[in-house]
Structure 1
Amino acid sequence: MGAVEEKQEKCGTVCLKYLLFTFNFLFWLAGGVVMAVGVWTLVEKSDYISLLPSKTYAASAYILVLAGAIVMVTGVLGCCATFKEQKKLLLVYFVLLLCIFLLEIVAGVLAYINYQQLNDELKQNLKATMTNKYRLGKDNEHITQAVDKLQEEFKCCGSHNSTDWEENGWIRSSASEGRKVPDSCCKTQIPFCGTRDHPSNIYKAEGGCISKLERFILDHLQIIGAVGVGIACVQLIGMVFTCCLYRSLTESYY
């Protein structure tokens, strides 16, 4: 009977090891996904970041990259602890999982709190940014590129509507060469198309670019939130497997 029980214990330990290894592999992949989302935000959407009044959105992207890297390292550590059956490593691994889990909760709460603040600041500052910085000085070239990209991709014109451009210093100067809005406002972009301020030629939708950018940020935060919740659920499973394996190894030792 003792041999049978010992065999069952060994089989249980082996099953837990392979379950935890599978979890770690999935966890490692999840870390790669999180890091990829962060890098994508920084590389593909870096222009939009320059239009935001605070660094909260950029900071969230850097946090994602860092969190993804930590998750991947933790996954490798978990694999080593599992196959070497090192109880101390398992404890370290469990503590890391718990810390990452708690950090995700804190980050989620902060993101929810800061979103409304970011949204309010965006509404207050986007028009001023377009009015005071678009094509006004070499120091603002990145702002000019970001605004043009925003209007082209989101098919919008101005912060709230196309009349916002009437206050822009470049539009009011001779340098605009008769343009009433930037060429990036045009439905069909050709040089000097911005000289014709008509609904058939430019985007006149109410709400302007600010509503489109607000929707973009909200959708992106929802993607980040969904990824975070998914990883958190996987982590809970991993912590349960880790506890079970640790207990099984302790019982086998004694």
Structure 2
Amino acid sequence: MAVGKVTFTKTEREKLAEVLWLLNWISVVTGAILFSLGLYLKVEIQKWQEVMLEQSILYVPHMLIVTGLAACGINFMGGKICLDCADTYKFLRWKLVLMPYVICTFFFTSCVLAGALMCYTVRSQLEESLFLGLRSAMRFYKDTDTPGRCYLKRTVDLLQIEFQCCGNTGYRDWFQVQWISNRYLDMTSSSVVDRLRSNVDGRYLMDGVPFSCCSTLSPRPCIQSQLSNTSAHFNYDQQSQSLNLWRKGCRQALLDHYTGIMQSIGLTVLLIWMFELLVLTGVRYLQTAMENVIRLGDPDSESDGWILENSLVETARSNFDIIKNLGKCYQVDDDPNINVPSAAVEQEVPSRQVQKSESS
């Protein structure tokens, strides 16, 4: 029994073809939107790629870019095909092409859905990449004279200023790394030497943060050193300490930034997928309805269209049988008739021998 069976008149088939022609052209625009969204997401990710451990997350924008380009090409061709299918005689030119076109559209539509789901499932991977990348960037913050790392200080400072954040998970993360280069330390000072010797790794650790952690909402000049010593600064307890430094960690700030972008993109892509699914369904109805018209031989007659000619179970079983039979076609080594002469050949050999003996 056919799934989604609908009967179309000649006028309805022509109207369906015209509507699908218009929808395919709209799909070209949605393909350009997919391409633009993927390009925008790629630029946003690469903007802060220095504080990410790996760039495997780029497969999401790459997926959207490729899918958008495919949408433009497939739907551009689909508009021409659907317009010609309104005429029975023009349909014959596209009859062999229409089924591969439907299959390509189905896979393309599946890719659109996959792209939408990726935007919602990449959060955990992005969070781990930011956590490890920021930890590495903070560790090399002081290496301003080291090739390949000299840009990290500028990147981290810009990140903390733009997103109003401090550290990886908070400002106390700076207490665990040496963020001041040794070239700016007074090695003749006993306090500096003692602090270096007191650390197992020989690092100069302090309860201070870079200037980029300072909050612009602070009512007093920023306090960025001796943060654990409340008696080191006059009237420090009476001031709201939360206004002195940015309290949010940069990992969470970046994660919220990218999550908001991906959720918006994911919703847009999901709407595009629903639209493409509508176009695919219409093209499938048009294809089956026109093929049935050809079988009937009367261009003006009514014809049935469907999504699947048989039920889902029957379609899956028939496809499985086809695949199984294709596999059996190559299993010729166990054929017992191989290298065994047929009866016709056996009869032919003695007859030739008789003819030769008579001629001699």
TM-score band w.r.t. shorter chain? 0.7 to 0.9
Mapped to 1, the partners of 2:272 and 2:50 lie a distance apart of 29
The residue number in structure 2 matching 1:38 is 38
Mapped to 2, the partners of 1:54 and 1:252 lie a distance apart of 56
Gaps of 5+ in 2: 1-7, 86-93, 187-207, 228-240, 298-360
Question: 1:85-96 counterparts in 2 under 5 A?
Answer: 85=85, 86-96=94-104
Given the alignment, which residue of 201, 210, 213 partners 1:185?
Answer: 213
Aligned partner of 1:129: which letter? S
SS of the residue 2:51 aligns to: coil
Question: 1:207-218 counterparts in 2 under 5 A?
Answer: 207-218=248-259
Deviation larger for 217-226 or 28-37: 217-226
Aligned partner of 2:11: which letter? C
SS of the residue 1:138 aligns to: coil
- Alpha-carbon contact 1:28-1:71 (below 8 Å) kept: yes
The residue number in structure 2 matching 1:128 is 135
The residue number in structure 2 matching 1:204 is 246
Alignment coverage as a number of residue pairs: 242
SS of the residue 2:268 aligns to: helix
Aligned CA RMSD, in angstroms, stands at: 3.3
Q: TM-score, normalised by structure 2?
A: 0.58
- Alpha-carbon contact 2:27-2:72 (below 8 Å) kept: yes
Given the alignment, which residue of 96, 109, 128 partners 1:101?
Answer: 109
What is the Cα deviation at residue 113 of structure 1? 5.0
Q: 1:17 to 1:77 in 2, by over 3 A?
A: same
Aligned partner of 1:89: which letter? V
What is the Cα deviation at residue 241 of structure 1? 0.7
What is the Cα deviation at residue 166 of structure 1? 3.6
- Identity %, equivalent residues: 20
- Alpha-carbon contact 2:168-2:250 (below 8 Å) kept: yes
What is the Cα deviation at residue 195 of structure 1? 7.6
Q: 1:27 to 1:220 in 2, by over 3 A?
A: same
Deviation by residue 1:10-59 (Cα, 9 ceiling, x = unmatched): 42222112211222122111111111111112224412233222323222
Q: 1:78 to 1:184 in 2, by over 3 A?
A: farther
- Alpha-carbon contact 1:21-1:78 (below 8 Å) kept: yes
Q: 1:142 to 1:107 in 2, by over 3 A?
A: farther
- Alpha-carbon contact 2:34-2:67 (below 8 Å) kept: yes
SS of the residue 2:180 aligns to: helix
Q: TM-score, normalised by structure 1?
A: 0.79
